[in-house]
Amino acid sequence: MSKLKIQDSFLLGLITSLLLPPALLVLFFKIRYTTTEPFYYAIWKLAEKGFLAADMFSCLLPSLVLFFILYKIEWWKASRGLIIGTVPYFILLFYLF
């Protein structure tokens, strides 16, 4: 029986950082808000009112924690991929504030 070993790779960090924040945003939205409107319309309304920035920031925090974990275990390539993938979300966050 062989064990599956995950290796340090740029692509692992990049894909994780691109998929984690939107998945958490959907999860937070479903937990915090109850609405009968479609998801994309409700997100658009929250962005217009200025409430989306706080939710977006809370979705980026796990990526930051994951970066420090990867940095601590010396997965340098995955750390770089995580930073590169998180930059567009930080730009969007500054645009929303």
| Residue 5 is assigned to a structural domain of this protein | no
The pLDDT, as a whole number, for residue 77 is 93
CA distance 85 to 40: 22
The pLDDT, as a whole number, for residue 38 is 79
| Residue 91 is assigned to a structural domain of this protein | yes
| Residue 4 is assigned to a structural domain of this protein | no
Q: Give percent of the chain with pLDDT exceeding 70.
A: 96
The pLDDT, as a whole number, for residue 4 is 63
CA distance 76 to 70: 7
**Domain encompassing residue 92:** 10-96
| Residue 29 is assigned to a structural domain of this protein | yes
Number of independent structural domains in the chain? 1
